[in-house]
Amino acid sequence: MKGTEPAERPERPTLVILAAGRSTRFGRAKQLEPVGPGGASLLEYAIHDALRAGFGRFVLVVRESRRHEFDARLAPLRRAGVALSFACQRLAHADLVPLPPPGRVRPWGTGFAVLAAAAALPRRGPFAVCNADDFYGRAAYESLARSLAAPPPGVRAFTVSYPLAGTLSAFGGVSRGLCEMKPDGTLLRMTEGLDLRLEREATRTGSGAEATAAVGRSAVTGTTTAGTSIRVDADSQACMGLWGFFPEILPLLAERFRAFLAACPGADDEFYLSEAVSHLAAAGRARCGLLPSGKGWMGLTFPGDRAGAAASLRQLTTAGAYPADLRTSPVHPEPAPRAQAPPVHPLQAPRRGVAIAPGRINLIGEHLDYNGLSVLPMALERNIRLEFEVLRQPAVELTGDADHGPFAFRLDRPIEPAPQGHWSNYVRAAAKGLLDHDVELKRGIGGKVAGTVPVAEGLSSSSALVVASALALLHANGKHVEVLELAALLARAERFVGLQGGGMDQAASLCGAKGHALRIDFGPLRVTPVPVPEGWRWVVASSLARAKKAGSAREPYNERRAQCAEALERLGRASWLEVVQADEVEFASIVAGGRRSLPPTLWRRFRHVATEGRRVIEAEAALRREDMAAFGSLMNASHASLRDDFGVSTAALDEIVEVARDAGAAGARLTGAGFGGCAIALCRESRAEGVMGALREHFYAPRGGVGEAALFVAAASGGATVTC
């Protein structure tokens, strides 16, 4: 007999309180500063409000040196049965920064503080994050708790937002997360604004909400973390550091932190939670709901802020909102938030959207990805754009341009390929890849595809289409797949078109980083952004011959892949990595062995992969030390190897490379698989026009001239996004 089991109780959320800040502007440790009428700190108000809103446990992120102080102060709460634990924020972290860079003293920032709390969080169940020195009010915690109990489809993060003007201080500039919202109420982007002040400073008298009343509508000025001046509407929404999350955010944050570290941050650069969530939201990897707060906010940035906060708390206490001595008054937690409660800010399932996925150039490391070796591409500003409407039925109905006619297929029947070379195969590949990965696609998409990446030019228009299609389908169905997992599954999926490709293009399109090249490693897939030095440009030049990877280039490409595998096997080597990472002596002996034992063609294929693998390592080092002359020489060697050993260049590509070098490029090479497509030339910014002029004159004019699609300067762009 089935017993009467109690209905499953929803998980009470945990509140992570960030209390490790250095209080530099406040002048003394402010997290335990007595502010309430009975001497309670804002941190104690946060715990009080959160308990009443149904939060079940608390994790305080503190500096090790102050842990005892917090412990002693909060002991009465523990004795009253409040589940409270500590996480110490250090500069080192076993997995993320085993050894902090020399000279780093400043904490890593709010995003890192959350990662420091991860080990103290329950494995399941949502959590919220707040700052110890901010007062958000009970309604904010209630709104967050309700939304975490019943998140709208696909939303995996929340932030409570406040009108910007009401969050400023009369005593100096403050930092705030400036929110831009999509029409469905989710976050489009958040920019960390620094030194924010009301423009009409002279008329101000108080701080917080009082100040807003004093000046009415106005603008707020400040700078971004990159130092650019900004001016925003005083009514815009600001994030004050009160967030709600599900545990899936933690690996995504860790990944963003690794990318932050890889970009060699300066001693004062911080990994802001706001910027990390903004990046994940823009990339379509963590939809973040905005919960606009009806009530005011107050906090302590400068010593002068204290008086205003104390006065407000006195008023609230007199009005009966809080007990006079909050520190000794028992708290009566509310029941856990009910899962069926509607979210405060109802979000609709998306009805339409736009998925945009960039193409890429590969700076160096050709025909290496399918051999498991690292490559160094960069995402382009040119992209594939899929504007879609969400369909109720599981079908895909898309149209393209004049060369790419309409097609349709169902998602609830086996997905069969269209005839070889048909563009729908890339969309089919994306859908099949997701379905094979057990992603349920109940809703379809209808819409149109347009693009600025030239097709079949080795700039990865095909993978950009695969990525855009996958993001649109995921978005339409409120599903999420972690980005590297998505890149890997789409690389496998794209083989549906018959090309046994590697995984470079899908990863580059998904993980592009503005101003950065990407080192992509395989097995397991990892992406590390590498900054591109200022003052250098890559000119992209089409050979005017299409390299159709779903057509004529397919067999020679697959043949190369098979030859590489055979060469490795004949040499009795387990992996190419082992060859490429050998020391000088060992490498020379492997190469000598290859020359002796392999038939001529396999020997040449072998030599290309082995030397190109080592060139990528050297090229990344050259890029990091901004030695672009060395980078250019490596590009030249790469081209020679692709031409002479790998046999994938063409006379036109060789000619472009030569003209560009003669015109002053530091290096030039074919990019992508070859067999036609494009070449790239590295040149100083001041030489780019000269190099393009020489190409126009010597290569394109005799062939009847070219348009802007065939000859342009590449700019390293961010990765694929999907927005409503």
Closest CB to ligand NG1 among residues 386, 493: 493
CB of 380 to ligand NG1, least distance (A): 11
CB of 671 to ligand NG1, least distance (A): 8
Which residue's C-beta sits nearest to ligand NG1?
501
Token pair recorded at residue 486: 């998505």
CA 126/CA 138 separation, integer angstroms? 18
CB of 289 to ligand NG1, least distance (A): 35
505 is catalytic: yes
CB of 704 to ligand NG1, least distance (A): 25
CB of 503 to ligand NG1, least distance (A): 7
Other Cβ atoms closer than 10 A to 435? 18
Residue for token pair 């754009």:
385
Q: What is the DSSP letter of 12?
A: P
CA 209/CA 137 separation, integer angstroms? 14
CB of 341 to ligand NG1, least distance (A): 46
CA 66/CA 193 separation, integer angstroms? 29
CA 245/CA 187 separation, integer angstroms? 14
CB of 496 to ligand NG1, least distance (A): 11
Q: Which residues contact 239 (CB under 8 A, 6 or more apart)?
A: 159, 160, 161, 176, 177, 178, 179, 190, 274
Q: Are strands 352-364 and 376-391 parallel, antiparallel or unpaired?
A: antiparallel
> Which is the catalytic residue, given 95, 505, 521, 627?
505
What letter represents residue 25's amino acid?
R
Closest CB to ligand NG1 among residues 41, 383: 383
Asked if residues 665 and 681 have their Cβ atoms less than 8 Å apart, the reply is yes
Task: Return residues touching ligand NG1 (CB under 6 A).
Answer: 362, 366-367, 369-370, 458, 460, 462-463, 494, 499, 501-502, 504-505, 549, 672-673, 677
What's the burial of 478, exposed, middle or buried (CB within 10 Å: 0-12/13-18/19+)? middle
What letter represents residue 547's amino acid?
A
Q: What is the DSSP letter of 393?
A: S
Closest CB to ligand NG1 among residues 184, 369: 369
Closest CB to ligand NG1 among residues 362, 563: 362
Closest CB to ligand NG1 among residues 215, 678: 678
Asked if residues 529 and 518 have their Cβ atoms less than 8 Å apart, the reply is yes
Closest CB to ligand NG1 among residues 499, 680: 499
CA 102/CA 448 separation, integer angstroms? 52
Task: Note the residue count of the chain.
Answer: 724
Closest CB to ligand NG1 among residues 131, 463: 463
Give the 3-state secondary structure of residue 380.
Answer: strand
What's the burial of 72, exposed, middle or buried (CB within 10 Å: 0-12/13-18/19+)? exposed
CA 22/CA 4 separation, integer angstroms? 53
Could you give the residue numbers annotated as active site? 505
